[in-house]
Structure 1
Amino acid sequence: MPSPADALPILDVDGLSVRLGKMDQNIVDNVSFTLAPGQTLCVVGESGCGKSLTALALMGLLQSPPLSISGGTARLGGEDLLSMQPADFREIRGGRMAMIFQEPMTSLNPGLRIGEQIAESVRRHKGVSRAAARNRALEMLRRVRIPAPEKRLDEYPHQLSGGMRQRAMIAMALANDPELLIADEPTTALDVTIQAQILDLMRVLQSETGAAMIMITHDLGVVAEMADKVAVMYGGHIVEAGSVERIFTDPQHPYTIGLMSSMPSLGRRQDRLVTVPGVVPQPGAMPKGCRFATRCPFRTEACETVPVLRPCGEGHEVACIHAPLENLAARDLRETGT
């Protein structure tokens, strides 16, 4: 049986760009990646780097105006999502592709029972009877391991705990067996124990359904646990991409190295946590060339050229003119004579 990496891509994103109003610069710029069935891509980076905007663009949920797609394609099973008419997109969204949002309390309708909200999605995309849709909703609540699902089916969102609301969101997203699942920070608002349960649940359900998954997160622990592939974003660009093993064992972009170094470790702390100096530039005020240049310890005049993703080992790409950084370190040693 072929591995997910060997399968044909279910999602092929090429040059996706998003613009805010009449700004000259794209706030998401030239984002490209592929995703095979059963594969998980974790998109990681600081707040404001473009992770969620990329997801909303793929789901056709950008607030337009002021946001708009300014370039690129995104093909789900060969169909270009970005050129679809809104009515056609509604047939796909919630059916072939679905999204789990960060805060379920603001995503669920507070005036509808949990079972009604799941059943509504099933009826919309499957065209089944009310009774069949309700049975499917009950089945999904059981699958996501909500206690007493028969009772929870007729309860309102405010009657459920945060963890149960997130499970209900997962049930709704998977009710129509989507080919692609996008999860935007699905465990951020939950305590550590519930986070672990939700991640385990998502991993099991994904293995059962074979869905491809994009998980958006800033938590490198989640990345290590869930990812097959990783895309590191900064300033609307993907600055490094590759297998989870390559990214964690041999990071090559200075920003990725900064993120790795800022992770707290277990045990007795000897030194202060490492931080990435500076702040993310505001949209429309990105530096010329490399958008990380103002915060990079390796910057040179050559960084005024926009870097593109290029191979840096098997299954590993980086957008830095200085990579591989081992060569840069060796050069500095030669120049200083140390």
Structure 2
Amino acid sequence: MTRSELQAEAAASGVPGSGQAAEILRLDRLSLRFRGQRADVVSDVSLRVSAGEILCIVGESGCGKSVTAMAVMGLLPENATQISSGTLHFDGETVDLRRARLPAHLRGNRIAMIFQEPMTSLNPAFTIGDQIAETVLRHRGGSRAEALDRACEMLEKVGIPSPRQRLREYPHQLSGGMRQRVMIAMALANDPQILIADEPTTALDVTIQAQILDLIRGLRRETGMGTIMITHDLGVVGEIADSVAVMYGGQVVEQGPVADVFDNPQHPYTIGLMSAVPRLDSPGGRLAIVPGTVPTIDAMPEGCRFRTRCAFATPGCARRPALADLGGGHLVACHHAPLETNVSVRA
């Protein structure tokens, strides 16, 4: 789809900027660390998702994307995790994440999650039908026959052929793309308001990846469901997102409407990520790289966590920058933003 087609679809779905969006979920200032570590693995992260909106969280491996999602879902082990701040607002309920988890009647029901690897998320000892039916019975009740009917309906909805037959099959009998569709069917079985998709296209070939993205986009149109998609693939972000949050070192460093962030990236890390994407108009050219490596959590620098890899770093970057609004909800955590003004002056 073209950019204009995506924007038209977003407006029709009631996402931000259309004047119709209603906020469904808000995460305020989540900070957490793993016990025994000196620094937060997620630091002061805030996210908002509206009806019909697809928010992509992007960044390198280890930047805190999946940990943030697991904290929202209440799936982090309590004996290994210390949450120092964070409030979740959803469906008229407010959860202080320091003291409580997402209530069980919401988890897997009103907020659902697709995990990274379907082969390890699906139980190899149970049929596909039993696993989807269990989700339905847990939250909707009813008979097993009714739950299996719902499972069959969902398999058909996500484009799996011969759904009645698939109900009796086991995960190892399905392809990777089919297993991913089963995970989506399971997540959507109770008509959630929010879907969290953690790397839903990883390890899939480009054809199946496109089919999965089309499926998620179509479900957004049909149901008005809000989606948080975690990815490291900027191509996926450009293809499907309405808004994007760029994370580095457990912090959101840039956030806003995807068109604004892609057309005018303002954080040096975002610029580095976008420069590293191969371009069709320069085949065979050398890819740009972000120099250095992500520090371990125990070696994170004070202040701006990207400053040890940043070409624009100054002594002032030892002080943590706040997320500042450059206009239109385009937020950037950089002392030098807007770069076209401040970096040129420094030069």
The unaligned stretches of length 5 or more in structure 1 are 334-338
Q: Residues 206-285 of structure 1: matches in 2 within 5 Å?
A: 206-269=220-283, 271-285=285-299
**Aligned match for 2:126, one of 112, 136, 152:** 112
Q: Which amino acid aligns with 2:15?
A: P
Q: Secondary structure at the match of 1:49?
A: coil
Q: Are 1:25 and 2:39 an aligned pair?
A: yes
Deviates more, 1:31-40 or 1:323-332: 323-332
Q: Is the 8 A contact 1:144 1:167 kept in 2?
A: yes
Q: Is the 8 A contact 1:115 1:153 kept in 2?
A: yes
Q: Is the 8 A contact 1:114 1:157 kept in 2?
A: yes
Which residue does 1:302 correspond to in 2? 316
Q: Is the 8 A contact 1:231 1:240 kept in 2?
A: yes
- Measure how far apart 1:72 and its partner are: 1.3
Q: Is the 8 A contact 2:321 2:335 kept in 1?
A: yes
Deviations 1:195-223 (A, max 9, x none): 01111011111211111100000000100
With normalisation by structure 1, the TM-score equals 0.95
Which residue does 1:103 correspond to in 2? 117
Distance (Å, rounded) in 2 between the aligned partners of 1:20 and 1:200: 36
Deviates more, 1:67-76 or 1:92-101: 67-76
Q: Which amino acid aligns with 1:292?
A: F
Distance (Å, rounded) in 2 between the aligned partners of 1:151 and 1:68: 45
Q: Is the 8 A contact 1:27 1:284 kept in 2?
A: no
Which residue does 2:143 correspond to in 1? 129
Q: Which amino acid aligns with 1:4?
A: V
Distance (Å, rounded) in 2 between the aligned partners of 1:85 and 1:248: 37
Distance 1:209-1:84 versus aligned 2 partners, 3 A rule: farther
**Aligned match for 1:315, one of 326, 329, 332:** 329
Q: Secondary structure at the match of 2:289?
A: coil
Q: Secondary structure at the match of 2:103?
A: helix
Deviations 1:235-260 (A, max 9, x none): 00000000000010000000000000
Q: Which amino acid aligns with 2:118?
A: P
Task: Kindly tell me the number of residue pairs found equivalent between the two proteins.
Answer: 332
Distance (Å, rounded) in 2 between the aligned partners of 1:89 and 1:157: 29
Distance (Å, rounded) in 2 between the aligned partners of 1:156 and 1:26: 40
- Measure how far apart 1:77 and its partner are: 1.9
Q: Which amino acid aligns with 2:80?
A: P
- Measure how far apart 1:130 and its partner are: 1.0
Deviations 1:12-66 (A, max 9, x none): 1110111111333211000012111111110000000000000000010112322
- Measure how far apart 1:127 and its partner are: 1.1
Which residue does 1:148 correspond to in 2? 162
Which residue does 1:64 correspond to in 2? 78
Q: Are 1:3 and 2:17 an aligned pair?
A: no
Distance (Å, rounded) in 1 between the aligned partners of 2:318 and 2:98: 33
- Measure how far apart 1:330 and its partner are: 2.4
Q: Is the 8 A contact 1:105 1:165 kept in 2?
A: yes
Q: Secondary structure at the match of 1:33?
A: strand
Which residue does 2:185 correspond to in 1? 171
Q: Is the 8 A contact 1:62 1:68 kept in 2?
A: no
Deviations 1:251-278 (A, max 9, x none): 0000000000000011442531000000
- Measure how far apart 1:327 and its partner are: 1.1
With normalisation by structure 2, the TM-score equals 0.92
Which residue does 2:9 correspond to in 1? none
Q: Secondary structure at the match of 1:124?
A: helix
Deviations 1:140-164 (A, max 9, x none): 0000110111110110000111110
Q: Which amino acid aligns with 2:176?
A: G
- Measure how far apart 1:104 and its partner are: 0.3
Q: Secondary structure at the match of 1:273?
A: coil
How big is the alpha-carbon RMSD for the aligned residues of Structure 1 and Structure 2?
1.5
Distance (Å, rounded) in 2 between the aligned partners of 1:14 and 1:22: 24
Deviates more, 1:6-15 or 1:317-326: 6-15
Q: Is the 8 A contact 2:85 2:98 kept in 1?
A: no
Distance (Å, rounded) in 2 between the aligned partners of 1:117 and 1:105: 13
Deviates more, 1:54-63 or 1:265-274: 265-274
Distance (Å, rounded) in 2 between the aligned partners of 1:83 and 1:313: 32
Percent identity between matched residues is 59
Which residue does 1:36 correspond to in 2? 50
